[in-house]
Amino acid sequence: MKTIQVFCDTKDRIDWHIIKPLQDNYKSRTPEQLEKLCTLIIKRGIRFPSFISKIGKTVWAIDTHGRLLAFEELESRGYTIPPIPVVYIQAKNKQEAKQLLLECDSRYGDVSQEGYDEFIKDLDISAFLDEIDMSEFFTNLEISFDELNKEYQNINAEIFLEDDITFKITLNFTEKQYKNVKLAIEKHSDTPEVIFCEALGVQL
């Protein structure tokens, strides 16, 4: 029997099966994203509590919809999901619970390239980049995910030429090409007028 481990201390734990999804089609997930989440849960266990609201006899999910899908998938593969850690968020009705979902999903700040570089300077980001979905996190960084196609990542580059002419270029590539492309661009960062992407065999 394969059991998912829990590494989170909360007052309450409940059977995930009784939690009802609240968001409907508010947020979609690709098979690739779901697989990433399943892999992360298998490897790292359950590390964060799920925010839920109990209204009458119904327990609604506030922030744990992706995990519910992952738990269902993992059970189909023979994994046992123990009672999960939860935190109850008070809501008078379903409408207020939906408002809480939006509040929980809101970001009141952006990640800058400088701040990101400073934050990860002592981390081997490549060691776990493939395990987590950074699509929203990377929105404002040079190394980012294509919002329209989650299978592809892109690097947004600005090339400065004479007479203040600037070219803005977006390079799309698969995750398998990610490391080679990133290294190639970093190698030529001292000559921004020419970016040679070795992994793609393209010269700009």
Q: Give me the pLDDT at residue 11, please.
A: 94
Mean pLDDT of 133-142: 52
Q: Is the pLDDT of residue 113 over 90?
A: no
- Residue 52 pLDDT class (50, 70, 90 cuts): very high
Q: Which of 56, 71, 105 is the last residue of a domain?
A: 105
Whether residue 188 is predicted with pLDDT greater than 80 in this model: the reply is: no
User: What are the CA-CA distances from residue 51 to residues 7, 34, 63, 115, 159 (Å)?
Assistant: 16, 19, 6, 28, 45
Whole-number Å distance between alpha carbons of 19 and 54: 9
User: What is the pLDDT, as a whole number, of residue 25?
Assistant: 78
Residue 190 sits in the same domain as residue 129: yes
Of 48, 78, 105, at which residue does a domain stop?
105
Whether 89 and 179 map to the same domain: the answer is no
Is residue 29 very low, low, confident or very high in pLDDT (cuts 50, 70, 90)?
Answer: confident
140 shares its domain with 100 = no
Residue 7 pLDDT more than 80?
yes
pLDDT band at 118; cut points 50, 70, 90: confident
Query: What is the count of structural domains for the chain?
Result: 2
> Among 105, 124, 152, which residue terminates a domain?
105
Average of per-residue pLDDT values in the chain = 76
Q: Which domain holds residue 163?
A: 113-203
Higher pLDDT, 161 or 170: 170
Is residue 6 domain-shared with residue 97, that is, in the same domain? yes
**Are residues 28 and 122 both part of a single domain?**
no
The helix-helix angle for 65-76 and 31-44 (nearest 10°) equals: 80
pLDDT computed for residue 1 by the predictor: 73
Q: Do 97 and 174 belong to one domain?
A: no
